[in-house]
């Protein structure tokens, strides 16, 4: 076992455990966006940054393994500033604030981020409603990769693909035919893991449009 401290709280974690595992064991909150504990850690969003004694810069909690004697600070100012800035940048590309029930909105609220300091191009509305149960709203996609990994790792359907780079990054279903003609088995794993409602149940979209 590795003995580490998280915000001065000592915890023991097994070999291979990450800083995020240690923080969870210590009952400490670390913000995440691209992380889902049902999937292999991805480390793409850089929202889960924490300080580690002896490290010259913040480290991603979800992919950094613990070592014996490690001292972790989950609320160190520089690390939290990086987390807030990343969330602000993500929000700056969305055409509208995320719904309050979404994971992204909850993370932003807990970090004290109510909007973005930057204005510029936002994703135009592009909804794919061809699936009988699921809606794919491209404008809300933040390219966290969770839906693709859920489809691959949890269900093994391989119905979703990451496309583009940078601002143009998004996801695609099937061969330009949408979910309906893809290998989707309607399990809903993608909607369940999506932190922004970019993929959600058709009924939820209808409910939001009525409200």
pLDDT at 93: 92
| pLDDT above 80 for 210 | no
| pLDDT above 80 for 7 | yes
Q: At what angle do helices 103-111 and 77-92 cross, to 10 degrees?
A: 140
Least confident of 7-16, 81-90, 137-146, 199-208: 199-208
| pLDDT above 70 for 168 | yes
pLDDT at 204: 62
- Give the residue from 160, 144, 162 showing the smallest Cα distance to 152: 160
Grade residue 91 by pLDDT with cuts at 50, 70 and 90: very high
Mean pLDDT of the region 56-64: 97
Grade residue 179 by pLDDT with cuts at 50, 70 and 90: low
H or E element at residue 59: strand 59-60
Grade residue 209 by pLDDT with cuts at 50, 70 and 90: low
Q: Is the dihedral of CA 128, 141, 123, 201 positive or negative?
A: positive
The backbone region for 28, taken as left when phi is positive above 0, alpha when psi lies in -120 to 50, beta otherwise, is beta
């Amino acid at each position: 076992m590795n003995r580490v401290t998280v915000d001065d709280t000592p915890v023991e974690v097994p070999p291979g455990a990450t800083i995020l595992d240690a923080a969870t064991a210590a009952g400490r909150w670390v913000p995440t966006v691209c992380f889902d504990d049902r999937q292999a850690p991805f480390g793409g969003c850089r929202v889960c940054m924490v300080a580690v004694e002896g490290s010259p810069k913040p480290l991603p909690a979800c992919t950094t393994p613990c070592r014996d004697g490690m001292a972790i600070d989950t609320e160190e100012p520089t690390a939290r500033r990086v987390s807030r800035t990343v969330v602000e940048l993500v929000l700056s590309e969305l055409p509208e604030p995320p719904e309050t029930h979404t994971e992204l909105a909850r993370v932003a609220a807990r970090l004290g981020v109510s909007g973005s300091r930057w204005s510029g191009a936002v994703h135009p509305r592009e909804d794919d409603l061809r699936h009988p149960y699921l809606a794919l709203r491209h404008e809300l996609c933040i390219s966290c990769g969770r839906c693709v990994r859920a489809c691959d790792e949890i269900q093994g359907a391989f119905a979703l693909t990451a496309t583009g780079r940078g601002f143009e990054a998004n996801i695609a279903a099937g061969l330009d035919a949408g979910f309906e003609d893809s290998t989707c088995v309607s399990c809903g794993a993608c909607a369940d893991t999506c932190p922004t409602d970019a993929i959600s149940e058709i009924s939820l979209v209808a409910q939001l449009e009525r409200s």
